[in-house]
Amino acid sequence: MSSEPSSQSPVPSASGADPRRLRVAVVFGGRSSEHAISVVTAGAVLRAIDRTRYDVLPIGITTDGRWVLTADEPERMAIADRSLPGVERLAEPGEGGVLLPVDPASREVLYTEPGAVPKALGEVDVVLPLLHGPYGEDGTLQGLLELSGVPYVGSGVLASAVGQDKEYMKRVFESFGLPVGPYEVVRAQEWERDATAARAKVVDFAAEHGWPIFVKPARAGSSMGITKVDDLAGLDAAIEEARRHDPKIIVESLLRGREIECGVLEFEDGPRASVPAEIPPVTSHDFYDFEAKYIDSAAGIVPAPLTAEETAEVQALAVRAFEAASCEGLVRADFFLLDSGEFVINEINTMPGFTPISMYPRMWQESGVDYPELVDRLIQAALRRPTGLR
């Protein structure tokens, strides 16, 4: 990826866009269970991006994996009356698909239709991948973009994969001396080989660390597939629900304390941390689950009511986590502030929610970086990055 914006003028869009503007392909949707939240995120970014600086090409990925041109209509990409949006509703009419370049010497995006000659849509200067979860946030899309040689926003292949897999994320943090809570992992092979022994492994973990426990898909986000389990009676259903999202599951003990989040953003001189936020207990839900986050819009507290010392500590830990996983661009780091006064890192998100109510943009707004500037800084960080291994 080039360290400076492309020297080639972007090809104007069909709407007659100024060819001197940098061309940004906003890619969203995808095959994961977080498809709808990715669409909401993309809608917020499309509303905020500076159209005087950037020409935008919206590309949606359907739930079955097709890449399609979509309408540039952010108002149709929000949650309305508890109904979630999808790429299929936004796709331009027709059976055509979008192809990114696979030759690093070209940044030409093509539009293909059955029985027709591919149509050039012009070059893209940078890709803004707004996908959450598997097949987008986990290093798969990042690998494709590395092969194409197109600059892109966010972490590379390794950091994206580590940030998606809760097991290996925790192992990386432990190896760098960051504090993590107790956890146990049940891999797909263990369950398929001997489900009884795998279940006993979870029961032994609960016996050692106490109930309740949280049973989670190892590679999912937005609180999808997570169940708080109070006793043995609810364990089998929780494992089944987690495995519905991911054949590998992770089990965590309940950590008693406060939920604290902190954003990290890459500036010209390196990563910096935002003011932290706190997720207060959600009285209408058993925990901060998908509905609490996105449907009922449970609000976090920004900035978190912490002491100056606690704020400095969690900011330093967030930057350490960013660097430990070799992240780039942005990260939201989630912590527990235990009753003992110790911070424990729960996880990082390499492409955190970017909806209008999401904590990452709210934390940076409170830190003096508003939404349009945040999007601009992410794009510029991608354009500064060198090509090849780094």
Question: For residues 294 and 314, what is the distance between their CA atoms, to the nearest angstrom?
Answer: 25
Of the ranges 104-108, 286-290, 346-350, the best mean pLDDT one: 346-350
In a domain, 103, yes or no: yes
Residue type, 164: Q
Q: pLDDT class for 286, splitting at 50, 70, 90? A: low
> 237 and 123 in one domain?
no
Which region, left, alpha or beta, applies to residue 216 given φ > 0 means left and ψ of -120 to 50 means alpha?
Answer: beta
Could you give the 3-state DSSP secondary structure of residue 217?
strand
Q: How confident is the model over 353-364, as pLDDT tens digits?
A: 888 788 999 999
pLDDT, residue 282, reads 72
Q: How confident is the model over 201-256, as pLDDT tens digits?
A: 999 999 999 999 999 999 986 678 999 999 999 999 999 999 999 999 999 999 99
pLDDT > 90 fraction of the chain, expressed in percent and rounded: 72
Q: pLDDT class for 323, splitting at 50, 70, 90? A: very high
> 174 and 292 in one domain?
yes
The C-alpha R_g of the chain, in whole angstroms, comes to 21
Q: For strand 213-217 and strand 227-229, is the pairing parallel, antiparallel, or unpaired?
A: antiparallel
Q: Exposed, middle or buried, 188 (CB in 10 Å: 0-12/13-18/19+)?
A: middle
CB 167 within 8 A of CB 250: yes
pLDDT, residue 212, reads 97
Question: For residues 22 and 12, what is the distance between their CA atoms, to the nearest angstrom?
Answer: 10
CATH code of the domain in which 377 resides? 3.30.470.20
pLDDT beyond 90 at 83:
no
CB 78 within 8 A of CB 43: yes
**Owning domain of residue 280:** 163-179+256-384
> 319 and 172 in one domain?
yes
> 232 and 310 in one domain?
no
Q: Which residues of 264-274 are buried (b: 16+ CB within 10 A; e: fewer)?
A: bbbeeeebbbb
CB 301 within 8 A of CB 277: yes
Query: According to DSSP H, which parts of the chain are helical?
Result: 35-48, 87-90, 140-148, 157-164, 166-175, 188-193, 195-209, 235-245, 290, 308-324, 359-366, 371-384
CATH code of the domain in which 187 resides? 3.30.1490.20
Residues in the chain: 390
> 103 and 40 in one domain?
yes
CATH code of the domain in which 38 resides? 3.40.50.20
pLDDT beyond 80 at 154:
yes
In a domain, 14, yes or no: no
Q: What is the pTM of this model?
A: 0.88
> 270 and 207 in one domain?
no
How many domains is the chain partitioned into structurally? 3
